[in-house]
């Protein structure tokens, strides 16, 4: 299961970097659609990049994994809330839902709930 957690950590971290660095124009549009400020967008983006970095560091230092994973899951729950609030189609909701599921899996493995 440890290998599964490592793969999930990499998927979450790389996904966050791709979205928040290379597809930033989409993020700007979405946050405007949600009615959120530029400051909020900057804070969320900074938090996600920092948490993604900690997930990668957690490959070598497993004690770093649980808290960033739980915080990332909270951010993904928030993303789901805003997708539902503006009634986005499922195709827009799926990426954050998939990352939420991966975060739950990582946390469960980190807590030894899954052997």
- pLDDT at residue 115 in the model: 73
- The structure tokens listed for 101 are 């599921």
pLDDT of 111 above 80: yes
Mean pLDDT confidence for 37-65: 97
Q: Which residue has the tokens 């490592």?
A: 6
- pLDDT at residue 1 in the model: 86
- The structure tokens listed for 74 are 């909270």
Cβ neighbours, 10 Å, residue 35 = 10
Provide the mean pLDDT of the chain: 96
The whole-model pTM stands at: 0.94
Tens-place pLDDT, residues 7-26: 999 999 999 999 999 999 99
pLDDT of 38 above 80: yes
Tens-place pLDDT, residues 83-97: 999 999 999 999 999
Provide long-range contacts, Cβ within 8 A and 24+ apart, for 96-102. Answer: 99/12, 99/15, 99/16, 99/72, 100/73, 100/76, 102/8, 102/11, 102/12
- pLDDT at residue 92 in the model: 93
pLDDT-derived band at 101, boundaries 50, 70, 90 = very high
């Amino acid at each position: 299961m440890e290998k599964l957690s490592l793969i999930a950590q990499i998927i979450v971290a790389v996904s966050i970097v791709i979205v928040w660095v290379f597809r930033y124009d989409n993020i700007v549009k979405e946050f405007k659609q949600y009615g959120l400020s530029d400051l909020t967008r900057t804070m969320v983006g900074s938090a996600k990049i920092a948490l993604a970095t900690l997930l990668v560091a957690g490959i070598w230092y497993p004690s770093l994994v649980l808290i960033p994973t739980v915080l990332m899951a909270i951010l993904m729950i928030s993303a789901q809330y805003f997708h539902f609030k503006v009634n986005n189609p499922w195709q827009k909701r799926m990426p954050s839902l998939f990352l939420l599921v991966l975060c739950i899996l990582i946390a469960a493995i980190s807590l030894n709930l899954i052997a």
